[in-house]
Chain A
Amino acid sequence: MVIDKNTKKELIELFKTKNIGLEGNIVKLINADGDEEFAAYLKQCSEKDVATRRKRLEMTKQVQTQNAELTKLNGENQRMMEELQETLSNVENAKLTFEAQNIELNEWKQENIRLTDKLQDEMLKSEQARLAAENAKNEAENNLDMIQKKTQFELINNIVRVALYVIIGVGCITTGIYVYSMTIGMDTDIIGSTWSNMFGILLTNSFSIVGTILGVKYGTSPNKEEK
């Protein structure tokens, strides 16, 4: 590419006064066409362009490196966030599991309390039944004892009554025979001594019977220690 003289002059003037020169690959395409001053101008523009490009290249590389580091850090951050999210999710799941287990344990606890209460009620009922049975047993034993005593007492009463009847009967008969014998004037020596002996025996036997009865009564009394 060849540029006319006036344009060359204007371009050189612009570079000298305002430091504004041609940039980019266009500089490489312009031919100085034997103009040494313009060739120097193109060389200066080219050097300036190279310096600018080199500077921009270094900066771009720095930005690229920083960008790569940021991308790497972002990836690491993302990974950590995912791990954190996963951990949180696991904790949440563990919490839910724990809560479910807690609810189940509470249900078991309530069931246990209910069963314990029921068991205590049953134990109480059982104790009451045991006491009732014991009372019934004691009552039955008392009733049996009373029946036995009553039977004994009735037997003793009958024995005593019969014995007394026998004693009174024998006494009355003997006394009557003895009185009749004296009335009709019969010999009363034998019958008199017999009557006194027999009367003595009857009295002795009577006291013996009474004593035996009292003894039996005392021996069979449940409150004999108090007595």
Chain B
Amino acid sequence: MIDSILLVDDEDLFHLVFEDSCSLLDITLSLKSLNSADEAVKLFADWQKDPTNRPECVFVDLNIIGSSFDGIELIRKINFEYGNHVVIGIISSSNEPDEQAKAVQAGAQFWIIKSDEIEPRLEEFKKDYEGFKNRTQPFKVYK
């Protein structure tokens, strides 16, 4: 089970879906959801000073409406500006190889396609999680 997860997604309904799916699949007991990338950056800046309550894994939406930058830029900032200590990846309805390549360059470890049936992908991700945590699992797209 993942210790704690942070979800950054502008869609509030998906927060509920993700929370229920994680609970039903016993993925985590601690989930925090944010609506904007700016909020996430602010939190990571704080966690850089005091890592208490810092999440173990971060799920980022590709296009975060209402934010100053997109999900790939957020991943880049978290990885290169606030320390590469979390398992981080994209959760998006997009399946563009170009975007996925950019995400890899920014330091993303996984890409989960967001759809109605998210649970099987999250279940598969749960199985691979230890590999991501140990940095032994290569970048993977969950379709």
Contacts and interface: CB of A to CB of B under 8 A. Distances in A.
B50 interface: no
Given A53-B24, A54-B24, A56-B16, A61 B29 contact: no
A60 interface: yes
Contacts of A53: 20, 23-24
* Residue among A25, A28, A63 with most chain B CB within 10 A: A25
Interface size class of A (residues with CB under 8 A): 10 to 19
Interface string B15-47: 011001101101001100000000000000000
A57 interface: yes
13 contacts: A24-B23, A25-B23, A25-B29, A25-B30, A28-B26, A53-B24, A56-B20, A57-B16, A57-B17, A57-B20, A60-B20, A61-B17, A67-B13
A181 interface: no
Interface residues of B, number: 12
Contacts of B16: 56-57, 60
B14 interface: yes
Contacts of A28: 26, 29
B98 interface: no
A64 interface: yes
B116 A61 contact: yes
B13 A63 contact: yes
A185 to B, nearest CB: 170
Interface in A18-75: 24-25, 28-29, 49-50, 53-54, 56-57, 60-61, 63-65, 67
Nearest to A29: B29
Contacts of A24: 23
A61 B17 CA distance: 7
